[in-house]
Amino acid sequence: MYKKNAGIVKAWKATVRKTQNSAKKRANSIFSAMSVAPADDEPGPGELHHAERAIPNGDFYTGQWMDNMPHGHGKYLCTDGCMYVGEWYKGKTLGKGKFSWPSGATYEGDFKSGYMDGKGTYTGSSGDTYRGCWVMNLKHGQGTQNYANGDYYEGEWRRGYQDGQGRYQWKNEHHYIGQWRNGKIHGNGTMVLNDGNRYDGCWEDGLPKGNGTFRWSDGSCYVGVWSKECDERSGTFYPCGSSKDEEMASDPQGMLVEYLNDCVVCNGERILIYPSQKMITWSGIDIGSSPQKLMVSRKGIDGNRRLKRLSVDGKVSNSSFDSMNDGSTNEGSSRNRKGIGSRHHHQRHDFERKGKRQSNLRFQPANRQGVTISKGHKNYELMLNLQLGIRHSVGRPAPTTTLDLKSSVFDPKEKIWTKFPPEGSKYTPPHQSSDFKWKDYCPVVFRTLRKLFKVDPADYMLSICGNDALRELSSPGKSGSFFYLTYDDRYMIKTMKKAEVKVLLRMLPAYYKHVRSFENTLVTKFYGLHCVRLTGTSQKKVRFVIMGNLFCSEYTIHRRFDLKGSSHGRITDKPEAEIDGTTTLKDLDLNYIFRLQKIWFQDFCRQVDKDCDFLEQERIMDYSLLVGLHFQETSDREPNRLDSQDSGSRDPDYEADGQFTEQDSGRWASIRLGINLPARAERTVRQGEPEAQLVGEPTGELYDVIIFIGIIDILQHYDISKKLEHAYKSFQYDPSSISAVDPKQYSKRFRDFIFRIFVEDT
């Protein structure tokens, strides 16, 4: 085995050396003559011709060429042995093509804007083969996978994983037909075993969970509730006359688990680097057929004059260009060295441009939100009480929680009061604040929600109760509630009215069911509901809820919008010069439509429908779609807080070049619906009065953006006060323009508006 691997490595090294020598020879043959064709014979703009080009980083291109970049059919050879042969369009792989890796792996099929996108076949070096649909380098749609170990899967894929309906056949002839989620058996399905026995029923994360039936080949069956927790199992055994009843009835659930030990779903071969990561950005390089023209455009490369790109093992490779010491000052380069250049202009978001592509956007620098609550602040003691209470609630010993909760834990009366005297007690530590009482509402439910949302208890406690103080936002919201942010921006704490607490507790069972059923839901994530009651004469109660902060990101948020789909009063009364990334703009301030890739657009529309159905059924209205935008092509790229905090672990050249790195590939993998979504924003213009045209006309001006989306303010019930508000305002304004309307009408109007401003990027 060792000799075989050594032979493969040796052959690969020989291939790399051969490729490098070939590129050098061709480059020398181009430049050795030192002769340049007369200018009259050079191809003009828009004229297609054949060319051979040595790239300054050692790569080589041969094929059709137009306007100083590949266009038509051509071959691109990388110094590390990767190769692409196929169709190009304005410097990008687009159409049919084949990409091969030094390991022997190949992809042959459709490409779009540099990505494996469309229908294609990937054959791995280990023998894995996938045939089917791809979207932006990921398996997505119908496809079949033959694994090197003999397993086989045929069915639906989503974002690189088995997801939807599919059939998996193991080499031992066990097979499963049913639903999948994120690469695991999940939902309703049937497992047929090689001895004729079978299980029909519900699954969760690869194991039987819920109602199910196990049938033996002789006709006996066991019907019951399945779970990996023994105390949650129950069922009835129905024997067949010829069966050994006692032996079969002893532990059918344990017996099935033994079978499943031989039914491990193969992960398949991982693609370490994608074709889109190997292609350089041609617009930043001016390559000609003579030494005089072999130079790098200063607009495209930083002051270090380096082009960065991943090698086949996922590591960053640096290729220095010929020095260009002309003594001049490169203003663009100095900006990049400061980390203000095109830091986030990653190739993975470099979509095919249509219309006019804009750059050099300018935004008012945003200060960090909120005022730190230090000693002497009017709410300093309240913050201490809150932190003490959270530390007690999260750190309190509790039994292991299951995601299947009993109805009793959702009872609004399910709450725990705890006294916190300054001198301490048996259960609470001494503290410097005043005497107070702490209440946890439905603690089991919220503990389970944190588990469902994959919140680590230690990190949660550290974010809220660590040594750093909370920050209070400068002004309360329209409802009169105050907002607090944790030091790391992960969590937002909002004070609540008693009526809002009642709404949340009433809808909590339906909310839990909804967020458990739809992991990509856009509705606000709630992590805890609590109350602080101060002792003394006032007996003041402060109720608050802890939520996730949608805009906690390494990307700077340049614009944020709160959108309802109504027009009355939906404009921000603030001068343009004072608007920054912390300013919340409204419907009539919106001057963009958002173009999402097909993979995300379909999921987005589906999820908005599901979320609105849920809110409509709960009689909720007045909610908003919160949208945050990070523009990738801005001229004032101030490093945001997370960038500066993490600067010690970053590669400074990554900051300047803005190329795709290994760290960035992890960020790419973290993209999910509503978070870090790559999109294009197209500027719009309204004709006439804003209220007469809620969505403006597209102008063709396009911007690459990273977008954040969430549905917020979901605790406003359509009660008698809102009905009266609707009746009163209807006398003064167009009833369709006001926010306070019946939940069914609100949901329809909200969806109609959202589906006008979010469209598929074709």
Q: How far is CA 370 from CA 74, 460, 524, 577, 709, in A?
A: 55, 20, 21, 20, 22
Domains, the chain, with CATH or none: 135-241+253-275 (2.20.110), 371-549 (3.30.800.10), 551-634+670-761 (3.30.810.10)
pLDDT the model gives residue 487? 87
Mean pLDDT of 278-284: 71
Q: How many other C-beta atoms are found inside a 10 Å radius of the C-beta of residue 259? A: 16
pLDDT the model gives residue 757? 94
pLDDT tens profile 522-538: 999 999 999 998 876 66
Is the pLDDT at 321 greater than 80? The verdict is: no
* Nearest CA among 725, 727, 683, 689 for reference residue 705: 683
pLDDT tens profile 580-619: 888 889 888 899 999 998 888 989 999 999 999 999 999 9
> What residue has token string 């939906």?
570
SS3 for 520? coil
389 close to 530: Cβ distance less than 8 angstroms: yes
* Nearest CA among 123, 20, 91 for reference residue 279: 91
SS3 for 733? coil
- Calculate the CA 6 to chain-centre distance: 40
Rounded to whole angstroms, the Cα distance separating 576 from 40 reads 51
Highest mean pLDDT among 338-342, 549-553, 637-641: 549-553
Is the pLDDT at 156 greater than 50? The verdict is: yes
Rounded to whole angstroms, the Cα distance separating 411 from 443 reads 11
Range of weakest confidence among 34-38, 382-386, 411-415, 456-460: 34-38
Range of weakest confidence among 257-271, 351-365, 621-635, 680-694: 351-365
pLDDT tens profile 85-110: 999 988 888 899 999 999 999 999 99
Output Rg (C-alpha) for the chain, integer angstroms: 30
pLDDT category, 572, cuts 50, 70, 90? confident
Mean pLDDT of 126-153: 91
Is the pLDDT at 175 greater than 50? The verdict is: yes
The first and second tokens of residue 55, run together, are: 């790239």
Range of weakest confidence among 124-138, 718-732, 748-762: 718-732
Is the pLDDT at 352 greater than 90? The verdict is: no
pLDDT greater at residue 395 or residue 724:
395
SS3 for 738? coil
pLDDT category, 641, cuts 50, 70, 90? very low
pLDDT the model gives residue 283? 60
pLDDT greater at residue 514 or residue 413:
514
pTM attached to this predicted model:
0.64
* Strand-pair category, 624-631 with 697-712: antiparallel
pLDDT the model gives residue 112? 85
Rounded to whole angstroms, the Cα distance separating 277 from 449 reads 38
pLDDT greater at residue 281 or residue 751:
751
Rounded to whole angstroms, the Cα distance separating 77 from 83 reads 5
Rounded to whole angstroms, the Cα distance separating 233 from 677 reads 41
Is the pLDDT at 246 greater than 70? The verdict is: no
pLDDT the model gives residue 57? 83
299 close to 265: Cβ distance less than 8 angstroms: no
Range of weakest confidence among 299-313, 493-507, 701-715: 299-313
Q: What is the mean pLDDT of the chain?
A: 77
